[in-house]
Structure 1
């Protein structure tokens, strides 16, 4: 039962590392050059680490510096302190979560939270912008451009004198057509999302993916009052056959969305259903933005090739069941950069593929590999059919489940479990499953054998 509880509701421990006070860095003329491709949390957190080393010249290439990535936008409380984030990046502090089952049963959770605990809800354009600006303040050189191809020498794994050449379209303010340019560097960090050009160039392999679809909806002030500290999660095969639908509060609107891996062609049908399930709580709202984006479902087969390393979505660091990716993107970017900087010994040498794998990849997988594995299992168990979804919502009534779930999510470390409560939870789980299957409505059949085999 210990394993079940840890698998179901706990994330692995991670160390807290406070970012130092930003300061401009100076770069020596013979410095090694590092290109961080991508300016989201993964790329920005990697770039700020590299930029602080005087013998490393850091370039951060981002195609859209005002990018607003489609995303639910939830971040754990520990991320605020660990990444030295100002509370201004948080739009709403969610202290209540409403879970709604396929037949409409509702469970409110949040009673176990302390007064100063919350889930942060942010807009990615605000969070990402802050992290990018800080990396630039440290000394990273921003390039507004789209990487189109990368020249990789055939001997790049053995010859440390070889360089990688990035070809990109550089954009200037007010122009829609880029200017072709190139940049030779000694090391690359790919933080350019699920459709990573870096991953393709280094032959990182393909992975299965979900499509996340979200509409930002402006609702009335009276309706927003309901979502002041409230977020909602809807489960049911009408909103997603393998995930959940959500209503997450933002600064002056709500994000309403859903996602799926197994039936991507029907994503707009599921989006329509989540709007209908939310009902009068968002009725009359104005859609101010429509967003859709692929989300990786598991790590890439290869995340390091030579002196090229992947982080964030490019590496496949999104958890199943919860769909969390922001924290793990930022964490992987920082861990990769810190490992590589240490291996470079003050910018005096370049690391090998084996050295990067034996530090960054090893440490990340040890810390979070079990989390991805067990949440994969949980998604298959609790999101596989309406009976299991009914049981999942019913199980959330347990204060013990709520306590362990929130503690593990907010702090990214396993909280001490109580053996007696574990045993009690086993009985509750069996009872919830029996009840769930007895009251559940049948799942609708679907088939997409060709599209379901697509990988990126």
Structure 2
């Protein structure tokens, strides 16, 4: 008998399992072996501090972000007073799983099949990777951290089968030396409808390798061809391809994360990827932490309503950031003309500073009312076309 079974052991599930194990709760962590999610790999300083990430997991330190418009305009935004860390998900996720197991979580490898309930309680049914047999895990609670198309969420949580998402695809390539178009200390974000009609493309350095990819919600887009075009534009066609990966990325947090009985969702399964940026690692790990908090509270009190704490705690801190980013995506990702205006807006020094202060610290910066007012007026001017997109 386990107190909690965590289904999925990416950053969200592994974080939940580790937190529960360190609290003395009997937890099993079930994961399919070998799956690597396509991801740019950026982690802000707050994640590094809050989740005690060691230096050896940081494969690159980014000091500049470059925004590239449909017409090729490039705006470089310096990251002041710090850096954005980059991780390789192949190694980072495994580090988190090993750390959870060292904390006391039971690690199991297999494929989740379903949840069954009877007079004896709740049972997670999975197919063991080694034997191929169906096995049962008796548990009191289940945390579903099994991705954007969560099998746990689809069958157990109301609305869990209706999560909107973009399809993301990237190629990990052997990184070249620094060139006129590639900088190992700079992340490039490409806002170009030729690459993605409704999201963006990216070139993110990972030290000896780099992630080159894009995302879109448009079914007709050929993700592999778009990535090939992006590599050609960035002068990366001849770089050796190490691996290719694709997966859905959710666009909006679910309205409900629990089933009011014995299941709570976390990470991509709950839809917690930041709109506009697509940033997911930090929010996934926070989602795992609040799911663990809710599960621990439910076990201690015996009140199933305590499972609602996961969403309540997350939204209390991050709802406004998600709302602002969703508004920005809706306003500027519609067309190349709007994307051109967005990159033009990024020339503003106040936009640059406030954006990265919010990114690095994971909260909106309220200390500069005049800067916010000026940004708001410029934003309104761009959206109403009172100023041309080419104006800096």
Provide TM-score, normalisation by structure 2: 0.92
Cα distance in 2 between the residues matched to 1:374 and 1:252: 35
Query: What does residue 167 of structure 1 align with?
Result: 125
Query: What does residue 141 of structure 2 align with?
Result: 187
Query: Quick check: 2:2–2:138 contact (8 Å CA) kept in 1?
Result: no
Query: What does residue 196 of structure 1 align with?
Result: 150
Say which of 341, 347, 350 aligns to 2:302. Answer: 350
RMSD: 2.3
Instruction: Show CA shifts across 1:422-448 (max 9, x none).
Output: 3333443355553886669xxxxxxxx
Say which of 42, 67, 82 aligns to 2:35. Answer: 67
Question: 1:297 offset after TM fit, Å?
Answer: 1.5
Say which of 103, 120, 143 aligns to 2:108. Answer: 143
Is 1:255–2:222 an aligned residue pair? Answer: no
Instruction: Show CA shifts across 1:314-372 (max 9, x none).
Output: 11111110001111110011112123213433xxx5331x2221x22222122222222
Correspondence 1:300-339 to 2 at 5 A? 300-305=254-259, 306-339=261-294
Question: 1:69 offset after TM fit, Å?
Answer: 1.6
- Closer/same/farther in 2, CA of residues 225 and 322 from structure 1, 3 Å limit: closer
Question: 1:259 offset after TM fit, Å?
Answer: 0.2
Greater RCO structure (CA 8 Å; 6+ sep):
1
The DSSP-based 3-state class of the residue aligned with 1:242 is coil
Cα distance in 1 between the residues matched to 2:4 and 2:190: 43
Structure 1: unaligned runs, 5 residues or longer: 1-30, 154-160, 441-456
Cα distance in 2 between the residues matched to 1:419 and 1:33: 48
Query: Quick check: 1:386–1:437 contact (8 Å CA) kept in 2?
Result: no
Question: 1:40 offset after TM fit, Å?
Answer: 0.7
Correspondence 1:3-402 to 2 at 5 A? 33-54=3-24, 56-64=25-33, 66-110=34-78, 113-114=80-81, 117-152=82-117, 163-172=121-130, 178-205=132-159, 206-223=162-179, 226-263=182-219, 265-278=221-234, 280=235, 282-305=236-259, 306-345=261-300, 350-352=302-304, 354-357=305-308, 359-402=309-352
Cα distance in 1 between the residues matched to 2:11 and 2:220: 26
The DSSP-based 3-state class of the residue aligned with 1:67 is coil
Q: Give the length in aligned residue pairs.
A: 387
Asked which structure has the greater CA Rg, the reply is 1
Structure 1 range deviating more: 369-378 or 119-128: 369-378
Structure 2: unaligned runs, 5 residues or longer: none
Question: 1:207 offset after TM fit, Å?
Answer: 1.3
Structure 1 range deviating more: 411-420 or 210-219: 411-420
Cα distance in 1 between the residues matched to 2:201 and 2:229: 9
Cα distance in 1 between the residues matched to 2:120 and 2:187: 51
Cα distance in 2 between the residues matched to 1:127 and 1:270: 27
Instruction: Show CA shifts across 1:94-136 (max 9, x none).
Output: 01111111001111111x501xx11111111222111111111
Query: Quick check: 1:210–1:264 contact (8 Å CA) kept in 2?
Result: no
Question: 1:392 offset after TM fit, Å?
Answer: 0.9
Provide TM-score, normalisation by structure 1: 0.80
Cα distance in 2 between the residues matched to 1:225 and 1:277: 9
